[in-house]
Structure 1
Amino acid sequence: MLFGILIALVPLLIGYLIKLSNPKWLNTINQSLSLMVYLILFLMGSELAQLNDLLSHLTTIIYSTLLLFICTFGFNMIALMVIDVVLPWRSKGPNSEPLVSRFKMILESLRICLALVLGFICGLLPLSIWQYNETASKVTLVVLLVLVGIQLRSNNISLKQILINKVGMTTTLVVTLSALLGGLLASYLLDLPINTGLAMSSGFGWYSLSGVLMTEAQGPIIGSISFLNDIMRELCAIILIPSLIKRFKLTSLGICGATSMDFTLPMLQKGGGIVMVPPAIVQGFLLTLIMPVLMTFLNYYF
């Protein structure tokens, strides 16, 4: 239990203490972070392949993922669209980013899934190296969290900027509460402990970390469900943003979850203008900080 708490928080805080301004170093951090994500998902896939009675587990994973996604993403959409209608955000700004290819971004997300599939295929091979999976996953996760902490600090977001950005704070609160409500419903429908359903719903799109933290706490089946739920959020956000953002800006921002700070930010800026950038960064920043704390608490203390 103690390791689960420390692995989620300490590396992130250590990384946050390191501030880099050199563009070359920041680029190296970003590239290293991508490699860590692929490695973690590869290891997760190989661990999943070690399960007994694999076919029945895959059926459970697919069914549970779809149900969890419908509950969490559905509740997010409903809550955000209500806010959009009641308190519409009509601010407009110039579009300065070049057109972002939705197809290209979808392919990037699917490529991430391929790392999991490749790990699963390799995990079926009878190799002795798989006995070190757990240790390798923990080491890789620690490195990833340190890099994320550095990345967060390098965005130069002050506490004042967070507190005065009401849009980013509002969407963060709505996304968090509605996702947890969806997780509560999913736990009932899937006949899971309440804390498990709530923890699975608190990934907010950060698939690489949610999958590993849930695997560490609840096993590879629950970890895989959490990962797939969060990767589906990213895919659906990419597909829906161009259609929603003109009329439902808050909804377009909120459904991105933690990815609004990085992966989906170009689409938000292109569709909604430069005015979308500050709240998108604040939302992504807050959810990135909240996610490991909340998921750890729900797994070990709730």
Structure 2
Amino acid sequence: MYLAVSNLFPIFVAFVLGFNLKRVYSQLNISMVEIISNACLYALLVLMGITVGLIPDIMDKLSLVGMSAFCLATASSLSIAVVLKIFHVRTRTVSGENQSSDVADSATFDIMGYIKDPLLLAGLVIIGFLVGYKSLIPNINYDYIISSLLYLLIFIIAVKLSYSGLNLREIFLNRQNIIMTCLTVIASYLGAAMAACFLPLSLSHSLAVNSGFGWYTLSGILLTKMGDPLLGSVAFLCDLFREAIALLLIPTLSRIGNGNIAIGVAGATAMDVTLPIIEKHCGVSYVPVALLSGGIITVIVPFLIPFFYSL
């Protein structure tokens, strides 16, 4: 519980400060804010790649347990996407919402428009990884820099949200958003359970690994401390792959009108690491939903990992 609170508190503070900036400083150049936001986002992605590249024996870990981790990450992400898409379609059908916009989107399909942003995001992470792996940069603890950039980004996102005029109360208390978060958790476990049938991992261990929901800085450490460093490596890589998959899918999903699915695929990272990506590509209206979903999942992660591991 302490781990969840210690991660949520600074994010909460940064968000509250940013959201209330409008009260003390009403004149703000939003275009300049957008430039700063993009600069911070791209720097954060490069630094994320660097920290992964600096991990000792990262290539050995990838070759040893990489396939199991990749299979679990892919199965969970696809399961979430499928379940939330079904939920999204059924909800629209019940409400009688017109789906002609999707048809229009498909008629103007632009392949470069779909792959440009995912390639850019992945390219920045890969560049950072190579810089770290080839030791082209000092091997120091970059956590403070990454955390500072992340909190600054969340502050900026909150500023833009305050200028958007959205009703946060309606979003946070929306029954559909709560259901979406619950379906995200259930669908993720369904995907992991199916993948476990083809992996050299027990069902309980596969579910324990899946319980990180993209929070790789916690899952690997927690399982290692519980006495299973190999499973900890699987969990670390699985959540790393889940974050990478989210980074690649969010821009594409947003272009086809599936912002809620993008948030679900992001898992716990929807409230921090992938929040800037969600805001940039899905729009500021999705930020409260991402904070709600990512926040709930983040709180339950420290409890779910030990629970499934002990089964």
Q: Which residue of 2 aligns with 1:61?
A: 69
Kept in 2: contact 1:67–1:186 (CA 8 A):
yes
* 2:169 corresponds to 1:156: no
In the alignment of these two chains, the number of paired residues is: 263
Q: Compute the displacement of 1:211 (Å).
A: 4.6
Q: How big is the shift at 1:150?
A: 0.9
CA contact under 8 A between 2:79 and 2:190: conserved in structure 1?
A: yes
1:178 partner SS: helix
Matching residue within 264, 272, 282 for 2:281? 264
Q: How do 1:232-271 and structure 2 match up within 5 A?
A: 232-233=245-246, 235-236=248-249, 238-239=251-252, 245=257, 252-257=258-263, 258=270, 261-265=278-282
Q: Is the 8 A contact 1:102 1:238 kept in 2?
A: no
Counterparts of 2:188 and 2:56, CA distance in 1: 23
Superimposed CA distance per residue, residues 207-243 of structure 1 (whole angstroms, 9 cap, x where no aligned partner): xxx454555655564344234334434544554666x
**Contact 1:66 / 1:229 at 8 angstroms: preserved in 2?**
yes
CA distance in 2, matches of 1:193, 1:55: 18
Indicate whether 1:108 and 2:117 are aligned: yes
1:1-302 pair list within 5 angstroms: 2=2, 4-5=3-4, 7-16=6-15, 17-18=17-18, 19=21, 21-23=28-30, 24-25=32-33, 27-47=35-55, 49-50=57-58, 52-90=60-98, 103-125=112-134, 129-130=138-139, 132=140, 135-136=141-142, 138-154=143-159, 155-156=161-162, 161-164=167-170, 169=174, 172-189=177-194, 190=196, 191=203, 192=205, 194=207, 196-200=209-213, 210-212=215-217, 214=219, 217=222, 221-233=234-246, 235-236=248-249, 238-239=251-252, 245=257, 252-257=258-263, 258=270, 261-265=278-282, 281-292=284-295, 294-300=297-303
Contact persistence 1:48–1:120 (CA under 8 A): no
Q: After TM superposition, give the deviation of residue 109 of structure 1 in Å.
A: 1.6
Deviation at 1:180, TM superposition (A): 0.4
In 2, are the aligned partners of 1:261 and 1:285 still within 8 Å (CA)? no
> TM-score, normalised on structure 1?
0.67
Deviations 1:68-111 (A, max 9, x none): 22222222222222222223323999x9xxx9965245232223
1:273 aligns with: none
Q: Residue 54 of structure 2 aligns to a residue in which SS? A: helix
Percent of pairs with identical residues: 13
Alpha-carbon shift at residue 63 of structure 1 (Å): 1.9
| Distance in 2, Cα, partners of 1:240 & 1:283 | 13
The structural deviation recorded for 1:193 is: 5.9
Which segment drifts farther, 63-72 or 19-28?
19-28
Computed over aligned residues only, the root mean square deviation of the Cα atoms, in angstroms, reads: 4.0
Deviation readout 1:122-173 (Å, 9 max, x if unpaired): 454478944x3xx31x21332133123312321117997023359x945533
Pick closer, same or farther for the CA change 1:140–1:75 going to 2, 3 Å.
Answer: farther
Cα offset, 1:174, TM superposition: 3.8
Q: Contact conserved, 1:162 with 1:169, CA < 8 A, in 2? A: no
Give the Cα–Cα distance (whole angstroms) in 2 for the partners of residues 38 and 128 of structure 1.
Answer: 12
Change (3 A) 1:128 1:296: farther
Q: Which runs of 4+ in 1 moved over 6 A?
A: 157-160
Preserved CA contact (<8 Å) 1:187 1:193: yes
**Using a 3 Å threshold, how does the CA distance of structure 1 residues 222 and 111 change in structure 2: closer, same or farther?**
farther
Please say if residues 261 and 283 of structure 1, whose CA atoms lie closer than 8 Å, have aligned partners that are also in contact.
Answer: yes
Give the deviation of 1:295 after TM superposition.
1.9
- Contact 1:162–1:282 at 8 Å: present in 2 too? no
How many angstroms does 1:286 deviate by?
2.6
Further displaced range: 120-129 or 7-16 = 120-129
Aligned position for 1:274: none
Assess, with a 3 A threshold, how the Cα gap between structure 1 residues 287 and 53 changes in structure 2: closer, same or farther: closer
Q: Which amino acid aligns with 2:167?
A: Q
- Paired residues of 2:72 and 2:238 also in contact (CA < 8 A): yes
Unaligned runs of 5+ in 1: 204-209, 246-251, 266-279
Unaligned runs of 5+ in 2: 23-27, 197-202, 224-231, 264-269
